[in-house]
Protein backbone atom coordinates (compact mmCIF):
# COMPACT_ATOMS: atom_id res chain seq x y z
CA UNK A 1 0.00 0.00 0.00
CA UNK A 2 1.32 3.40 -0.89
CA UNK A 3 1.39 6.28 1.54
CA UNK A 4 1.57 10.02 1.17
CA UNK A 5 5.36 10.18 1.17
CA UNK A 6 5.74 7.79 -1.78
CA UNK A 7 3.68 9.74 -4.35
CA UNK A 8 4.13 13.42 -5.16
CA UNK A 9 0.60 14.05 -6.44
CA UNK A 10 -1.28 12.03 -3.84
CA UNK A 11 -4.68 13.58 -3.15
CA UNK A 12 -5.48 11.58 -0.01
CA UNK A 13 -8.11 9.24 -1.43
CA UNK A 14 -7.42 5.53 -1.00
CA UNK A 15 -6.85 3.30 -3.99
CA UNK A 16 -9.98 1.42 -5.05
CA UNK A 17 -12.23 3.54 -2.87
CA UNK A 18 -15.24 2.70 -5.03
CA UNK A 19 -15.47 -0.85 -3.66
CA UNK A 20 -18.12 -1.38 -0.98
CA UNK A 21 -16.74 -2.29 2.41
CA UNK A 22 -18.24 -5.57 3.76
CA UNK A 23 -19.98 -5.26 7.12
CA UNK A 24 -17.92 -6.29 10.12
CA UNK A 25 -18.69 -9.73 11.50
CA UNK A 26 -19.38 -9.78 15.20
CA UNK A 27 -19.92 -13.51 15.70
CA UNK A 28 -16.63 -15.23 16.57
CA UNK A 29 -17.81 -18.65 15.32
CA UNK A 30 -18.74 -17.18 11.94
CA UNK A 31 -15.37 -15.48 11.71
CA UNK A 32 -13.51 -18.69 12.50
CA UNK A 33 -15.49 -21.07 10.32
CA UNK A 34 -16.30 -18.75 7.43
CA UNK A 35 -15.15 -20.19 4.11
CA UNK A 36 -12.23 -18.28 2.64
CA UNK A 37 -10.68 -18.62 -0.77
CA UNK A 38 -7.05 -18.12 -1.61
CA UNK A 39 -6.45 -15.60 -4.35
CA UNK A 40 -3.68 -16.51 -6.74
CA UNK A 41 -1.63 -13.43 -7.58
CA UNK A 42 0.98 -15.16 -9.70
CA UNK A 43 3.76 -13.63 -7.64
CA UNK A 44 6.62 -15.85 -6.53
CA UNK A 45 9.14 -15.26 -3.79
CA UNK A 46 12.77 -15.69 -4.77
CA UNK A 47 15.13 -16.13 -1.87
CA UNK A 48 18.62 -14.71 -1.84
CA UNK A 49 21.53 -17.10 -1.25
CA UNK A 50 21.86 -15.71 2.29
CA UNK A 51 18.20 -16.49 2.99
CA UNK A 52 18.57 -20.01 1.58
CA UNK A 53 21.62 -20.57 3.79
CA UNK A 54 19.77 -19.20 6.84
CA UNK A 55 16.78 -21.44 6.15
CA UNK A 56 19.02 -24.50 5.82
CA UNK A 57 20.92 -23.64 9.01
CA UNK A 58 17.64 -23.07 10.91
CA UNK A 59 16.35 -26.44 9.75
CA UNK A 60 19.52 -28.13 10.93
CA UNK A 61 19.24 -26.53 14.38
CA UNK A 62 15.59 -27.56 14.66
CA UNK A 63 16.49 -31.14 13.70
CA UNK A 64 19.30 -31.17 16.27
CA UNK A 65 17.01 -29.82 19.00
CA UNK A 66 14.35 -32.43 18.18
CA UNK A 67 16.93 -35.22 18.26
CA UNK A 68 18.27 -33.97 21.61
CA UNK A 69 14.73 -33.86 23.02
CA UNK A 70 14.07 -37.45 21.94
CA UNK A 71 17.35 -38.60 23.53
CA UNK A 72 16.50 -36.70 26.73
CA UNK A 73 13.06 -38.32 26.98
CA UNK A 74 14.61 -41.76 26.36
CA UNK A 75 17.28 -41.26 29.03
CA UNK A 76 14.76 -39.98 31.57
CA UNK A 77 12.43 -42.89 30.87
CA UNK A 78 15.20 -45.45 31.26
CA UNK A 79 16.39 -43.75 34.45
CA UNK A 80 12.93 -43.76 35.96
CA UNK A 81 12.35 -47.40 35.07
CA UNK A 82 15.85 -48.36 36.18
CA UNK A 83 16.36 -51.99 37.13
CA UNK A 84 12.62 -52.57 37.41
CA UNK A 85 12.40 -53.22 33.68
CA UNK A 86 13.36 -56.85 34.10
CA UNK A 87 11.32 -57.40 37.31
CA UNK A 88 7.83 -58.50 36.31
CA UNK A 89 5.35 -61.20 37.12
CA UNK A 90 4.96 -63.96 34.57
Domain that holds residue 63: 48-81
Domain count, the chain: 1
CA 58 to chain centre: 14
Asked whether residue 26 is domain-assigned, the answer is no
Task: Tell me the percentage of the chain whose pLDDT exceeds 90.
Answer: 34
In order, the DSSP letters of the chain are ---GGG-TT--SPPTTTTSPPPPPP--HHHHHH---------------HHHHHHHHHHHHHHHHHHHHHHHHHHHHHHHHHGGGGS----
Reported pTM: 0.48
For the stretch 35-68, pLDDT in tens is 777 788 888 889 999 999 999 999 999 999 999 9
pLDDT at 10: 60
Asked whether residue 64 is domain-assigned, the answer is yes
For the stretch 5-46, pLDDT in tens is 666 666 666 665 566 666 665 677 777 777 777 788 888 889
Tell me if 3 sits within 8 A of 15, measured CB to CB.
Answer: no
Amino acid sequence: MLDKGQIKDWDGTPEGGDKPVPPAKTDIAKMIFAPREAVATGERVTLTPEQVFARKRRGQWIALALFAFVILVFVLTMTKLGANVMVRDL
